[in-house]
Amino acid sequence: MLSRKFFILLFLTFALPQNAMSGYGFGSSVDNSDASSVGVSNQLLPSFKDNVSISNPSTWHNLLFSYLNTSVGVHNANFQSSSSTNFSLSSAKLVIPWKQKMAFGVSFEPFLSREVVINDTTTTSFTFNEEELLYTRLNSSSGGPSKGSLSFGYKLNDFDSIGANLNIVFGSSRYTRNLIIDNDNHLLQSRDYFSGTMVDLFYSTNRVKFKDNPIFLSASLSMPLKGINIENDSYQAFIDLNDNNYHDVNDFPDIGQALLPLNQKFNDELKISSFTFGADYEFSPRKHLQAELLLWSDKGEHNLNSSIYDGYLESKNKVSLSYIKFAQPFSRDRYNFKGSLFFQNYGVKNLENINEVGLGLGIGFNFGITGNQIDLGYKLSKRDGLYLVGNETLHSFNLGISIGDLWFVKRREI
């Protein structure tokens, strides 16, 4: 019973950091949810162990132990003279290998974040009946859908392996427009409920060699099984006379005299598909060079206009280059070092496109006979072309803890 309560709390605390892109469309997404992949700025290529990426199920069969992995993040966004810092849980994942042949996993992580506030910096004056009214506006959105995944990885032969994720998108977000007239909050609130299913397919191979060293190649294809539908509840505007941010009998109009919320359903609002291809080359023992390409697109309907800005992301391309040096198992060399560069371009519908360039650094520390690992990741990136804001600098620190054990693994398999 106790653990059940904890899981409920866990889901409630999922959140992504605020940044300007949270105001685009249905919010901003994150590329690297687990701390071990932050330093390499990619998803498919090994970053957890020398042949395992925690984000790529087709590599999980290489694990000797089951791992419970959780990551938290500290995110800082700077633009103009403003700054914001947030803490959030990045991901929680359980990976269970079986006979080094296949693997299973279950994970929860944020999918999109709509956490953003914009407001007027100046007060506007309005005169009515010789009375001067001063007003400002403050628009905010919060929350966002989460993603629960069931994963499966399978080793086809000594060279090839495959994997798949079944992703269930769920959760809600809130949108509030506040017109503040002489300290009275005039609130217009709405809530979006997300539901959808997506699938990710993975393939990895070691067949290609260069100077007798294999090149690890991996590709993934993500597509919607069922587009993400959004149910929108739009509540009638009210004056929040008691400043509790909630429409009740003490507000105007009284909740009993207000209109019922408008409920609208929008199908296939988001139809996200992506293709990722990466290559990893071990040019020296435990030293790897990696490159990954991501092509992402959203062919959703986008009929619901409940975002802070009018624009939304319709495409994204990313290239990352990284270097990683892995620790030597069962030796005094217990540290993984990672460094990466990445370039990203966002295609924005209705607004200017956004470019992002970033740097990733990471360190991992192995301990214990089961290969427990603590990962620290740091990402610095700069975005150009953001609506109204212009440039934004993002700092992201991620801390991941991976506990390995013999859960569900028979001892004789080791």
Partner 1 sequence: MSRFILDAMKLLILMIFITSCSEETIIYDEIENKDSTIQTSTLPQTNSKLFQTYPQFSTRDKLFFGSIKDSENLYSLVQMTLFSGNIPPVSLVDLLADSIQVDSAMVFFQTEDSLSTGFDLGLFSITTENDSVFSDSLNFYNQGDFVDFESNSFLLNQVYLSPEDFTPDSTGLDTVKIMFTEEDGSLSSLKEYFLDSDTYPARTFMLKNTGSTLDELFSLESNESVNGPKMRVWYKAIIDEQTTLDTFITFFSQKDINVFSPPAINDEDFNYISLNSGSGLRSIIEFDLNLLDTLSRNELFKNSNVVLDLEDSNLLEDDEFYVIISAIQDSVQNWNFTSPFIETSEGGEDSSSEIETSYTIDPNFIVSRKIEDNQVRIPIQAFLQGYKNGLFQHNELMIYSAPVNSPFDKVNLNLNAIEVMYVEP
The residue within the footprint of partner 1, chosen from 168, 187, 354, 409 (CB under 8 A), is 187
Using only C-alpha atoms, the chain has a radius of gyration, in whole angstroms, of: 23
If the CB atoms of residues 68 and 293 are measured against partner 1, the closer one turns out to be 68
Instruction: Please tell me whether the peptide bond between 145 and the residue prior to it is cis, using omega within 30 degrees of 0.
Output: no
As measured in angstroms, the least distance from the Cβ of 237 to partner 1 is 4
Sign of CA dihedral 248, 250, 251, 256: positive
The residue within the footprint of partner 1, chosen from 178, 340, 370, 396 (CB under 8 A), is 178
Size of site (CB under 8 A) for partner 1? 64
The residue within the footprint of partner 1, chosen from 213, 242, 250, 257 (CB under 8 A), is 257
175 is a site residue for partner 1 (CB under 8 A): no
As measured in angstroms, the least distance from the Cβ of 133 to partner 1 is 7
How many Å apart are CA 356 and CA 340, to the nearest integer? 14
Considering only residues 355 to 394 of the shown chain, the ones binding partner 1 according to CB under 8 A are 388-389
One-letter amino acid of 380: L
As measured in angstroms, the least distance from the Cβ of 322 to partner 1 is 27
**Are 156 and 137 a contacting pair, CB within 8 Å?**
no
One-letter amino acid of 89: L
The residue within the footprint of partner 1, chosen from 64, 181, 199, 380 (CB under 8 A), is 181
If the CB atoms of residues 44 and 103 are measured against partner 1, the closer one turns out to be 103
How many Å apart are CA 144 and CA 17, to the nearest integer? 11
21 is a site residue for partner 1 (CB under 8 A): no
The residue within the footprint of partner 1, chosen from 238, 296, 312, 342 (CB under 8 A), is 238
The residue within the footprint of partner 1, chosen from 174, 186, 299, 325 (CB under 8 A), is 186
Residue 368 burial (C-beta neighbours within 10 Å; 0-12, 13-18, 19+): exposed
84 to each of 19, 27, 384, how far by Cα in Å? Answer: 8, 17, 18
351 is a site residue for partner 1 (CB under 8 A): no
Considering only residues 79 to 138 of the shown chain, the ones binding partner 1 according to CB under 8 A are 79, 82, 84-89, 92, 115-121, 126, 128-129, 131, 133, 135, 137
Length of the chain: 414
- Tokens encoding 308: 């802070």
- Tokens encoding 207: 């067949």
**Are 59 and 52 a contacting pair, CB within 8 Å?**
yes
The residue within the footprint of partner 1, chosen from 11, 51, 162, 177 (CB under 8 A), is 177
Contacts for 190 with CB less than 8 Å, ≥ 6 apart: 174, 175, 176, 232, 233, 234, 235, 306
As measured in angstroms, the least distance from the Cβ of 107 to partner 1 is 14
Q: 20 in helix, strand or coil?
A: helix
6 is a site residue for partner 1 (CB under 8 A): yes
If the CB atoms of residues 130 and 158 are measured against partner 1, the closer one turns out to be 130
How many Å apart are CA 362 and CA 359, to the nearest integer? 10
Among 34-42, 315-323, 361-369, 400-408, the segment contacting partner 1 (CB under 8 A): 400-408
For binding to partner 1 (CB under 8 A), which residues are involved? Answer: 2-3, 6-7, 9-10, 13, 15, 18-20, 23, 68, 70, 72, 77, 79, 82, 84-89, 92, 115-121, 126, 128-129, 131, 133, 135, 137, 139-140, 177-179, 181, 186-188, 236-239, 252-253, 257-259, 262, 388-389, 401, 403, 405, 407
